[in-house]
Structure 1
Amino acid sequence: MAHRLRPVELDFTLSAPVRLVFTAEVRADPAAVYRALAEDVEGWPGWFTAITSARPTRNGAGREVRLRGGTRFQETIMSTEPGERYAYRIDETNAPGMRAMLEEWRLTAAGSGTRVRWTMAVDGSAPLRLLMGLAKPAMGRAFRDAVRNLDRRLTSAAA
């Protein structure tokens, strides 16, 4: 059963009770990484294997995302800064215990590539907060694998 989450703003990435932050570097430039994140929403399952489907909604102002295991999200795009930042708030989910969630992807030039920083900011019940903390290593692996897959995808497309 889906439920509405509390709407939060971009500064929630600084104040959320649970903040998971991961970084990795890719060879692709920030503009290419940004396009994959913000403009090729339907391509996410091709590099982020936890995602089974993603599609833009509301004429690009939102997204609908489905994860392996059946979790679903209805999202609002909060920031689109080409080559720098892409962020979205989860408005509705079927994940139990969640009260608020925002994800932010920050991109910065790093040598001849891009440093990618993903922040997952969450508020929820005590059991959910505990679970998020315990899941941090697995989330980190999923992020690193996804970014590695994205890098391969972008560098092979450029070749």
Structure 2
Amino acid sequence: MMKKIVFVGAAFLAVVSAFGQGPSPKQAFEQLKKLAGTWEMKGPAGESMKVHYKVSGAGNTLIETQFPGDAHEMVSVYHMDGKDLLMTHYCAAGNQPTMKYKPGKDSKVLFFDFIRGTNMKPKDMHIHTAKIMLKGKDQIQSDWTGFVNGKKGPTTAFNLKRVVE
């Protein structure tokens, strides 16, 4: 009987391992810190749009600045809160949604989901989810899904390439 239990337990672990698991919150944060530097994408009219990542706070914070110097500049701050990885987005709309990292099955896809916000009512327009796809050392895609009138809204994709400085 004991051999059967051990065999079933080992088989279960093998099946679970085969499906894979994304990085822990701490591992995801370490992956994000590797984005430090300037990234660029082409806007709708072919214009250059930049995003800058900077590790700060003695390595405890990653600051993402979208469209630096622009009138609609926005900042997102990533940091650990105990065992959780949080991201607060300081939006040009004047609100500050906070999202929590949720590990998935793919180690190269980091998913953040809304947990709370300031300067906003629950049904107000805000960024509700963010998905960062690490496509290589020098390429990422960041998909931001909004929330409008209490419902899921459109998704905006940012396809970024690292600027060699």
Relative to the length of structure 1, the TM-score reads: 0.45
Relative to the length of structure 2, the TM-score reads: 0.44
Q: Relative contact order, CA 8 A, sep 6+: which one is greater?
A: 1
